[in-house]
Amino acid sequence: MEGKHIANYRVRAHDVSADKHMHLPALLRMLQEASLQHAILLGASIWDTRMANKTWVLIKKEMEVFSYPLLNAVLRVETYPSDFDKFFAYREWQVFDQENNLVAEARSQWAVIHLETRKMDKLPKHLFDIQLPKSNLAKTNFKIRFEKEASSVTDYVINRFDLDWNNHLNNSKLIEYMLAAIPQEQFKSFRHFKILFKSEVLLGDHLQVSFYQEENEALLKATKAHDEKIVALISVSTHAESDL
């Protein structure tokens, strides 16, 4: 099976801010769509019988943004699994504009869980038949520490339209909620994004997103209100990883 997927996307009105530039949640949502469509083609989606009642969960993702495209720009997204081992899969993305300039690149780590037990399981055997393209990026390997008192906390209640095909809070919606918790005066054109997932969120859950600001970095922590269990941690910075 061919391991690389290429798709074109047009930046639409709901993807942009008032300055007509694509915003960060829309860029991440586009990556999610590309990887889902590729999973379907590979027979690796939740709806494929070869997945044996298993589904994907995202463990961590990081992205570097080189430019934010304008409304109606046509982007080319290239994505592929870069490696598999017993319990984890790794995926990369590269986004190009019509002049073939690199707009963004991202890397991620995934696992599969059983839909009934919600526990992590081995990767299905047929995935190892996929022809892996040459990897352009090193495997993602980072930690996020939320170590200071939050300067603000934002509350959300999860509704039916926040859920995805796994019947839990959609990753893209979670990212949107968390980034929206950054106060307007402190929101920047961030160049580096990292997210680390810890637990799933279900319909009706109350989500609390805590925020504090470092010099060049915003840190966010999402927790479930009823048990204070961490859902995810995000770090966004105005510096590229290579600048740090």
Per-residue tokens: 82: 């870069």
Query: Measured between alpha carbons, how far is 44 from 55 in angstroms, rounded to an integer?
Result: 8
Q: What is the pLDDT of residue 115?
A: 87
Q: Which residues contact 210 (CB under 8 A, 6 or more apart)?
A: 146, 150, 152, 153, 181, 220, 221, 222, 223
Q: What is the pLDDT of residue 3?
A: 81
Spacing of C-alpha 10 from chain mean position: 19
Position 143 in a domain: no
Q: Going residue by residue through the chain, which has 244 residues, state the pLDDT in tens, using 9 for 90 and above.
A: 668 999 999 999 999 999 999 999 999 999 999 999 999 999 999 999 888 889 999 999 999 999 999 999 999 999 999 999 889 999 999 999 999 999 999 999 999 999 889 899 999 888 888 889 888 888 888 999 999 999 999 999 999 999 999 999 999 999 999 999 999 988 888 999 999 999 999 999 999 999 999 988 999 999 999 999 999 999 999 976 654 3
Matching residue, tokens 């469509």 = 37
From the list 96, 78, 89, the residue with the least C-alpha distance to 34 is 78
Q: What is the pLDDT of residue 131?
A: 87
Same-domain status, 24 and 120: yes
Position 137 in a domain: no
The residue among 95, 129, 163 that closes a domain is 129
Spacing of C-alpha 3 from chain mean position: 20
Q: Is 3 exposed, middle or buried (0-12, 13-18, 19+ CB in 10 A)?
A: middle
Beta bridge partners of 233: 196, 221
**Number of helical (H) and strand (E) elements in the chain, helices listed first:** 2, 11
Residue 49 phi, psi dihedral angles, 5° rounding: -65, -25
Position 139 in a domain: no
Considering its fold, how many domains does the chain have in total?
2
Claim: this prediction has a pTM higher than 0.75: yes
Q: What is the pLDDT of residue 59?
A: 96
- Residue/partner pairs of 87-92 with CB below 8 Å, 24 or more apart: 87/111, 87/120, 87/122, 87/123, 88/59, 88/123, 89/56, 89/123, 89/127, 90/139, 90/140, 91/35, 92/135, 92/136, 92/137
Same-domain status, 17 and 84: yes
The type of residue at 14 is: H
The residue among 67, 95, 129 that closes a domain is 129
Q: What is the pLDDT of residue 243?
A: 45
CB atoms within 10 A of CB 226: 8
Position 144 in a domain: no
Same-domain status, 107 and 189: no
**Boundaries of domain holding 190:** 152-243
Same-domain status, 112 and 170: no
Helix (H) or strand (E) holding 173: helix 171-180
**Residue 220 · residue 233 · CB < 8 Å:** yes
Same-domain status, 182 and 116: no
Same-domain status, 12 and 122: yes
